[in-house]
Structure 1
Amino acid sequence: MLTDSMIAEQLRRSSHEFRTVEEAHHRLDLELIDLQKRHVLTPAEEQSKKHLQKEKLAKKDKMAELMRVYRGHDLQAAPR
């Protein structure tokens, strides 16, 4: 049985979509880290932070979906 990290590594090699989504997720993570370093956020920065968090979660959900699809195809292709 493939682990999530094994599937993610395989998808990094074979799926442009997965790589693109993962890179966007990482970029959003860096932006959030930068915002969280500030002690006080303006209302606009708070709103931006919430938007970034939602966008990052959507990217994480998309990566999980791609991994589920890959796992499903892998199980169907496995000899019985």
Structure 2
Amino acid sequence: MEQHEVDLIGKLVDGNPELAELWNDHQEYKKQLARFEGKPYLSPAEDAELKLLKKKKLAGKTKMQQILDKHRQSEA
């Protein structure tokens, strides 16, 4: 996610509860994924959890992008 998008999210989260929840979830997934990056080996359960977290993070990012796109269109 680019810095200008992060800045826009920072401006919009107070007025958009859905975006605020998505952003909080995104940050939490990022922290959880960082746990796995330091490990030299992942168990099958950890690997499955890693894949699930990546899918959830990507889905949330897609939804956030849609909200930002709608906002940009309404301003144009």
2:53 corresponds in structure 1 to 52
Structure 1 residue runs of 5 or longer lacking an equivalent are 76-80
Q: Partner amino acid for 2:35?
A: D
For 2:8 and 2:73, the matched residues in 1 are separated by 11
Instruction: Describe the SS at the equivalent of 1:34.
Output: helix
2:14 corresponds in structure 1 to 13
How far the C-alpha of 1:12 sits from its partner, in A, is 1.6
How far the C-alpha of 1:35 sits from its partner, in A, is 1.3
Task: Summarize the Cα distance change of 1:5–1:52 in structure 2 as closer, same or farther, 3 Å threshold.
Answer: closer
1:78 corresponds in structure 2 to none
Once the two structures are superposed, residues 37-69 of structure 1 have per-residue CA deviations (whole angstroms, 9 ceiling, x without a partner) of: 111100110111011001100111111000001
For 1:52 and 1:26, the matched residues in 2 are separated by 12
Structure 2 residue runs of 5 or longer lacking an equivalent are none
After the TM superposition, which residues 26-65 of structure 1 pair with which residues of structure 2 at under 5 Å, given as runs? 26-65=27-66
Query: 1:32 touches 1:49 (CA, 8 Å); kept in 2?
Result: yes
How far the C-alpha of 1:4 sits from its partner, in A, is 3.1
How many equivalent pairs are there?
73
Please give the TM-score of this superposition, normalised by the length of structure 2: 0.86
How far the C-alpha of 1:6 sits from its partner, in A, is 4.5
For 1:12 and 1:21, the matched residues in 2 are separated by 9
> Following TM superposition, where does structure 1 have runs of at least 4 consecutive aligned residues deviating by more than 4 angstroms?
none
RMSD: 1.3
Once the two structures are superposed, residues 13-48 of structure 1 have per-residue CA deviations (whole angstroms, 9 ceiling, x without a partner) of: 211111100000100010000111111100110111
